[in-house]
Structure 1
Amino acid sequence: MRIPDNEDRLRRPARIRSLRVGDLRVSYVPDGVVKMVPRSLFPATSDETWARNSRYLDSSGWLTISAGGLLIENGERAMLVDVGYGPFTEPVSMMEHGMATMYGGSLLDSLDRLGRGPHDIETVAITHLHIEHLGWAAHPATGESEPAFAHAAYLVSQREWDDRRTTFGVTEEVAAALARRVRTVADGDEVFPGVRAVALPGHTAGQMGYEVTSAGERLLAFADVLHSPVQVAHPDWAIVGESAAEESAGLRREVLGRLADEGTIGFGVHFADVPFGRVRRMGDSFAWEPLA
């Protein structure tokens, strides 16, 4: 039986998708994908939970967690929010972490398809220092000696940078590759015309989102406040390893309420092939309506 495209998008890796926010163009820049065992990502769920939410699972019963970045263009100028997993094209099994597989490798090709090269990017904002968000900022492409965006400023919150040695995936080598280029940012800082930093502590203590505003329109890149569109309807679902589950659930509800009530476009970097969307209230819960 053929799966309708709007439902298939919930379970496949993201493709390039673009839309306008006022005078700015924003685009999802795919790099790769993480396939997650659903009950490993959301430990409080059950087999019955996923029987009711099977439309989010691929043919192997896994959740699709896309990896990539958000390209923001203002005329000739451009920046990226997050830069994927990096130049690792072979799927790696990480079942000990609840990840069925993880791979990257396509972000630079995706940028090229969008008409941009690495040297067009003046700023790289890293929402938090997890390996599938910082990849190309720390690792060179094959045959190169420097990371792809070595010319750019890397924006990270001070708390995130201070905690780097305790963060998943940040080895001494990765930290050293980032260190020469890191510039710390704080809540409310304007980092690019029409783009400001928004503190979203929870998933990590120093996590930063980014709000894009132009000509009366607004988009919020909410980082890892939410990991999957299924979580929009279930903001109380804690992900594995959350140290402050109640506070994180409160932040998810706060962000979803703001998106719904203010008409702000949401950007979920991990949201399979529905990264852009609007949030609609459904009684006491919420629904994700994909855009682009």
Structure 2
Amino acid sequence: MSTAAPSKDERLHRPAILRSLRLGETKVTYVPDGAVQLIPRRWLPDTTDETWAAHPAYLDTTGNLVAGVGGLLVERGDRALLIDAGVGPRSFPAEPGNAHGALHGGALLDNLAALGRAPADIEAVAFTHLHTDHVGWAWHPAPGSDRPAFAHADYLVAEPEWTHRDLLEAHGTGPEILTALAPYVRTVANGEEVFPGVRIRFLLGHTPGHAVYEITAGGRRLIAFGDALHSPIQVDHPEWLAAPDHDPALAADARRRLVAELREPDTIGFGIHFADVVFGQVRPGGDGPAWHPLDA
């Protein structure tokens, strides 16, 4: 007996599962590590109770935004790149005053294995930025080891992000994490090709060196935009501040430019925290949200 596919609203209420797209010879796959709930009025402080009453589809039964944490696997032939590395085998309880609720990770290596990939298959880990929910498995010792799972790989970090890494401590990326990352870090320049068909582009504001990765293949491009956007609702409201933004004005300008770019033909977005609608396109007009998920 067949089961009906979940609706878009149902997918907004849950963290993303393994989802893949093909761009010509390149395959991209969201690899889940865990999930976190974002408290809407705290995470997006420019919103109001009226905002969320008008857009209940974005909230789960507890009244929170659902966000996945994980990475994006980019495969071309036998080669593999990982963009971001989840939060690792760690859990954090909800704490009063935080903009997010409980956060948990730990599933990324198992999900890579389900895709037929071992950590040793990953030639480099490219980071959009160095917040703790993006660097987890890159610094935390792997099970049964005293080294990170990806210690054999280059860690690709935007040059301004590494130069100003001291500014990230307020967001939890403290000396212990930075010291563990340092031996593997290779800084990269704006526009540099880091993997066949994959270029880094600086999109500053969320952090001092926040970056996106543009993947071009098969006549299409995909922009993995990290934390430039945290929820599909921001596509309609790029002016809204996100609580962790390092430079709110610069981050808002980055969101506006990103949304405009996502409206261009043959362009797909990848939102790592976008519940279970991580792959999508931005289409103007209509009665629904501007983020239109792609079946993957």
Aligning the two structures, in what range does the TM-score lie when normalised by the shorter sequence? over 0.9
The question of 1:81 aligning with 2:74 is answered: no
Deviation at residue 217 of structure 1 after TM alignment: 1.4
Give the match for residue 62 of structure 1: 64
Does the aligned pair in 1 maintain the 2:207–2:247 contact within 8 Å?
no
Give the match for residue 134 of structure 1: 135
Counterparts of 1:149 and 1:177 in 2: how far apart (Å)? 12
Deviation at residue 233 of structure 1 after TM alignment: 1.5
The question of 1:207 aligning with 2:210 is answered: yes
Q: What is the identity, as a one-letter code, of the residue corresponding to 1:162? A: T
Give the match for residue 5 of structure 1: 7
SS at match of 1:31: strand
Does the aligned pair in 1 maintain the 2:219–2:266 contact within 8 Å?
no
Q: How does 1:117-156 map to 2 (within 5 A)?
A: 117-156=118-157
Deviation at residue 243 of structure 1 after TM alignment: 4.6
Q: How does 1:68-107 map to 2 (within 5 A)?
A: 68-88=70-90, 90=91, 92-107=93-108
SS at match of 2:201: strand
Task: Note the residue ranges of structure 2 that are not aligned, 5 or more in a row.
Answer: none
Counterparts of 1:50 and 1:269 in 2: how far apart (Å)? 22
Counterparts of 2:11 and 2:56 in 1: how far apart (Å)? 13
Deviation at residue 3 of structure 1 after TM alignment: 11
Deviation at residue 91 of structure 1 after TM alignment: 5.0
Q: 1:274 aligns with which of 274, 277, 282?
A: 277
Q: How does 1:1-292 map to 2 (within 5 A)?
A: 5-88=7-90, 90=91, 92-167=93-168, 168-282=171-285, 287-291=290-294, 292=296
Instruction: Give the alignment's TM-score, normalised by structure 1.
Output: 0.94
Counterparts of 1:7 and 1:258 in 2: how far apart (Å)? 25
Task: Note the residue ranges of structure 1 that are not aligned, 5 or more in a row.
Answer: none
SS at match of 1:27: strand
Deviation at residue 245 of structure 1 after TM alignment: 2.8
Identity, in percent, stands at: 52
Does the aligned pair in 2 maintain the 1:87–1:140 contact within 8 Å?
no
Q: What is the identity, as a one-letter code, of the residue corresponding to 1:37? A: I
Does the aligned pair in 1 maintain the 2:205–2:249 contact within 8 Å?
no
Counterparts of 2:124 and 2:212 in 1: how far apart (Å)? 15
Superposition CA RMSD, Å: 1.8
Deviation at residue 232 of structure 1 after TM alignment: 1.1
